[in-house]
Each structure stands twice: as C-alpha cells, then as structure tokens.
Amino acid sequence: MIEGFGVDIVEVKRIKAAVKKFGARFLGKIYTKRELAYCKSKGIPEQHLAARFAAKEAVYKAFGGDGKNPIAWTDVEIINDKTGKPVVVLKGTAEKLMFKRGVKKAVVSLSHTRNYAVGNCILLK
C-alpha cells in the first residue's frame, strides 16, 4: 500500500551555483560523505548532486512534513546498490517518522540531463 508520494525537479545550474557560492558549507549541510564521494567520482558531479537534492526533496514531500519534526537534509541519504539502483537510507528524524507512520520502505527514482534533475519517492506500507 502506498503511504506517500513525492516528486521534485531541480535546475542543475542552481546546485552548481550554490556549490560555487557556499562550497563545503552547502555540501556538508545537504549531503552525506557517501553521497559526496559518489558524486565527486562522476564526470559532471553537479548533475548527480542535483539528482540527489531532488530525491531528498521528493522524500520530504512524500512524508508531508508537519513542521514539528523537521527532517535534516543528511537524515535522508541516497546511495546506490551494487547494480547502480538508487536506495534511500533514512536516519534520525526521518527514520523516526518512518516507524511512526508504519512505512516499510521508501523507494526512489532519479534522472538527470545537462540542465535538469528529477527525483521521485514512494513510501510503502
């Protein structure tokens, strides 16, 4: 059963500009070390950063945040399994919300082009 659904689209140039302007402060606030290592290993890291940003937003939207229990950016981690499939790892407040709402799994899909990145999330009970 579907408990929640979220989608987000991000302009890659917006993420690139934030990295240029705020550097490590922005990256450390939004991404985990594993996410950064993966994205930096790619030819055009900002496309992968943007896709993860969109996926994190999609997860937030799927949970429909109540404002009382804010989810930190790094509480939602988007990694890849051995086959390359994106996987969501929830920690902290996000993990607590998952248990509270009876969510068994959060599934994401990512895609990006030179200019845009999109992320989708479905929360399953």
Catalytic residue among 33, 91, 96, 112: 112
Other C-beta atoms lying within 10 Å of the C-beta of residue 67: 5
- Residues 73, 71: Cα–Cα separation, whole Å: 6
- Residues 65, 82: Cα–Cα separation, whole Å: 31
Catalytic residue among 16, 61, 91, 96: 61
Q: Identify whether 105 is a catalytic site residue.
A: no
- Secondary structure of residue 124 in the 3-state scheme: strand
Tell me the sheet residues that pair with 78.
Answer: 88
Q: Of 7, 3, 9, which Cα lies nearest the Cα of 112?
A: 9
Q: Identify whether 112 is a catalytic site residue.
A: yes
Hey, which residues are catalytic here?
61, 112
